[in-house]
Amino acid sequence: MNFNPHLKPWQPPQPNNVAGKGQIEAPGQATNIIWQTRAAEPSDYENALGDALERVFAGGAETIGQVVEGLNAQAFRSSAGEPWTVASFEAEMARLGA
């Protein structure tokens, strides 16, 4: 399994007055699900975007403008097939990070 089908949206911790209730797992009894923070397996596009971003950062990009320039220099297009802009990159990162 490459994602956690039971992943729930993040919620801030809420105090519980019952000692240990929901806070402590018994050693050796908790199920360790690989990829616990994934709601779905990454698409081919998402994997390719990650690879492209690794190349951009390895090339020295430090600002969002440099990242956008690096993606466009690689001819790596957005999911809509368009060249990247700062606005489209920010929107895509917000969508993927939701």
Segment 9-28, tens digit of pLDDT: 777 777 666 655 655 666 67
Give the pLDDT confidence score for residue 72 in this predicted structure: 97
Q: Bigger pLDDT: 80 or 4?
A: 80
Alpha-carbon span 74 to 49, nearest angstrom: 11
Segment 57-98, tens digit of pLDDT: 999 999 999 999 999 999 999 999 999 999 999 999 999 887
Domain boundaries, the chain: 44-97
* Angle between helices 86-97 and 64-73 in degrees, nearest 10: 100
Core vs surface per residue 12-22: b (16+ CB within 10 A) or e: eeeeeeeeeee
Dihedral Cα 76, 94, 89, 43, nearest 10 deg: 10
Determine the average pLDDT of the residues in 31-54: 85
pLDDT category, 39, cuts 50, 70, 90? Answer: confident
